[in-house]
């Protein structure tokens, strides 16, 4: 890698992680191109200092155009959401394989030096995740392969594609296996939100509407570990800058049940609510957490923001967003009746 990396493409730039990554890269002095399938007005964060494009990266020609004069690529683009979305949209999730495949093909043509792919903990063997509070998943637990159907298979296949583009064409590929990233400026309603945002929204809406209960998917005993967005960005950049070519966990090992996550949000909101357990909703695996041994050994880094702190920041941002939306609705309702 003799060529200095200065011009960076971030795909999925209009999304949650992508928006935070673009912000950090601009702060660090890189020239950034952002691309996302969403119209620009629907991007979670948009920065005038970056070149922003609304385009479909399933299309190979779009990938060719947007990778011209690019040194490094962060591929965060895919069709995904929380468990409710990925369990009910398996075909659409798997079609994201076109994005990574065509971006790698275009990167080869346009002489991209370095390419980071955002994978997921959903690639891990589901047979190892049938109990609550499991031992953290190590990188070796991806094989023998039995990932979550649809989304997990697409991510695992794309990891292999990255490996072979390095072996055959010399593109320096990096693979980050993200574990449940959360924080401000992300989806918190509409069906694609993940547990930290969903629970925060439900508690806030219960308080706003003077309800004494919230709905919980499953029995609340399923476990996960959650990584705050600032740590995610830091770990992602550490991996990108490293010489480590194998997939690596970017996650937290602070494993909690969904009931414990609700406890955290109730403490933040200074409220106590009844819980209506919905046993017919999508649940995913029973237990999941990250093993960070390789992260600490290879990158000499680990996450620093604990769940209580990260959830407070997330809750406050969602609360402010819902208050603004509520005020806007009331304003327009009053205007309609004048």
Beta bridge partners of 11: 35, 75
Residues 130 and 203 in one domain: no
| 237 and 213 belong to one structural domain | no
Does 212 or 323 have the greater pLDDT score?
212
pLDDT tens-digit series, residues 22-33: 999 999 999 999
Confidence grade of residue 325 (pLDDT, cut at 50, 70, 90): low
In sequence order, what are the residues at sequence separation of 6 or more whose Cβ sits closer than 8 angstroms to the Cβ of residue 63?
Answer: 57, 99, 102, 103, 105, 106
**Is the same domain home to 281 and 155?**
no
Identify the active-site residue in 117, 124, 151, 178. Answer: 151
Report which of residues 192 and 291 the model is more confident about.
291
If asked whether residues 233 and 322 sit together in one domain, one would say no
Q: List all residues 6 or more positions away from 292 whose beta carbon is below 8 Å from its beta carbon.
A: 136, 249, 251, 252, 253, 302, 303
Please check whether residues 16 and 36 belong to one and the same domain.
yes
pLDDT the model gives residue 2? 54
Note whether residue 189 is domain-resident: no
Strand, helix or coil at 223? strand
pLDDT value of residue 68: 98
User: Do 44 and 153 sit in the same domain of this protein?
Assistant: yes
- Kindly compute the dihedral angle of the four CA atoms of residues 303, 305, 306, 309, in this order, to the nearest 10 degrees: -170
Task: Tell me what the mean pLDDT of segment 66-82 comes to.
Answer: 94
Among 132-136, 141-145, 280-284, the least confident range: 280-284
Confidence label for 86 from pLDDT (cuts 50, 70 and 90):
confident
Looking at the fold, whether 98 and 246 belong to one and the same domain comes out as: yes
Mean pLDDT, residues 179-190 taken together: 94
For residue 49, tell me if it sits in a domain.
Answer: yes
Catalytic residue list contains 151? yes
Torsion of Cα atoms, 191 then 193 then 197 then 199, to 10°: 40
Q: What percent of the chain has pLDDT over 70?
A: 95
Question: What's the Rg (C-alpha) of the chain?
Answer: 20
Does position 1 have pLDDT exceeding 90, yes or no?
A: no
> Is 186 contained in some domain?
no
1 assigned to some structural domain: no
The pLDDT score that the predictor gives to residue 326 is 56
First to last CA, the chain: 66
Query: Please, which pLDDT band fits residue 202 given cuts at 50, 70 and 90?
Result: very high
pLDDT given for residue 3 in this prediction: 74
Q: Indicate whether 25 belongs to any domain.
A: yes
- Say yes or no: 216 and 246 in one domain: no
Mean pLDDT value of segment 283-299: 96
Query: Residue 170 sits in a domain of what CATH number?
Result: 3.40.50.720
What local confidence, expressed as pLDDT, does residue 330 receive? 41
List, as one string, the DSSP characters of 231-255.
HHHHHHHHHHHS---S-EEES---E
Q: What is the mean pLDDT of residues 263-274?
A: 96
DSSP H helices in the chain: 16-27, 60-66, 83-88, 90-94, 97-109, 151-169, 195-208, 229-241, 258-269, 293-298, 307-336
pLDDT at 233 over 60: yes
> Is residue 134 domain-shared with residue 242, that is, in the same domain?
yes
Is 66 inside any structural domain? yes
Query: What range does the domain containing 220 cover?
Result: 195-224+255-293+305-333
In a domain, 36, yes or no: yes
- Is residue 153 predicted with pLDDT exceeding 90? yes
Name the pLDDT band for 213 (thresholds 50, 70, 90). very high
Query: Is the pLDDT confidence value at 333 over 80?
Result: no
Q: Are residues 160 and 219 in the same domain?
A: no
pLDDT of residue 88: 87
Distance, in Å, from the CA atom of 175 to the CA atom of 224, rounded to the nearest integer, reads 21
State the CATH number of the domain containing residue 278.
3.90.25.10
Using the predicted structure, report yes or no on whether residue 6 has a pLDDT greater than 60: yes
* Mean local confidence (pLDDT), 202-215: 95
Average pLDDT score, the chain = 93
Rounded percentage of the chain residues whose pLDDT exceeds 90: 88
Q: Does the residue 261 lie in any domain?
A: yes
pTM across the whole model: 0.94
Distance CA 281, CA 162 (A): 34
Between residues 87 and 58, the one the model is more confident about: 58
**Do residue 111 and residue 16 come from a single domain?**
yes
């Amino acid at each position: 890698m003799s060529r200095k990396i200065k011009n960076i493409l971030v795909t999925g730039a209009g999304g949650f992680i992508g928006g935070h990554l673009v912000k950090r890269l601009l702060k660090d002095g890189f020239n950034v191109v952002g691309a996302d399938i969403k119209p620009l007005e629907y991007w979670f964060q948009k920065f005038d200092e970056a070149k922003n494009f609304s385009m479909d990266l399933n299309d190979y020609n779009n990938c060719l155009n947007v990778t011209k004069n690019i040194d490094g690529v962060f591929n965060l683009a895919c069709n995904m959401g929380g468990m409710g979305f990925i369990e009910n949209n398996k075909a659409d999730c798997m079609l994201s394989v076109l994005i990574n495949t065509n971006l790698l093909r275009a990167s080869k043509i346009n002489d991209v030096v370095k390419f980071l792919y955002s994978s997921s903990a959903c690639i891990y063997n589901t047979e190892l995740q049938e109990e609550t509070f499991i031992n953290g998943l190590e990188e070796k637990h991806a094989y023998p392969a039995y990932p979550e159907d649809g989304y997990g298979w697409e991510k695992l296949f794309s990891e292999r594609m990255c490996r072979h583009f390095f072996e055959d064409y010399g593109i320096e590929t990096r693979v980050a296996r993200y574990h449940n990233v959360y924080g401000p400026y992300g989806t918190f309603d509409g069906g694609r939100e993940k547990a930290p945002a969903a629970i925060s929204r439900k508690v806030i809406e219960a308080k706003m509407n003077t309800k004494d209960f919230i709905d919980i998917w499953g029995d609340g005993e399923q476990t996960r570990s959650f990584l705050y967005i600032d740590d995610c960005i830091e770990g992602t950049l550490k991996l990108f800058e490293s010489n480590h070519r194998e997939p690596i966990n970017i996650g937290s090992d602070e494993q909690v049940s969904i009931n414990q996550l609700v406890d955290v949000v109730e403490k933040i909101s200074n409220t106590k609510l009844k819980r209506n357990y919905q046993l017919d909703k999508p649940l995913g695996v029973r237990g999941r957490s990250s093993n960070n041994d390789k992260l600490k050994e290879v990158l000499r880094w680990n996450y620093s923001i604990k769940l209580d702190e990260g959830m407070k920041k997330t809750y406050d941002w969602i609360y402010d967003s819902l208050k603004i939306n509520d005020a806007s609705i009331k304003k327009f309702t009053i205007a309609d009746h004048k």
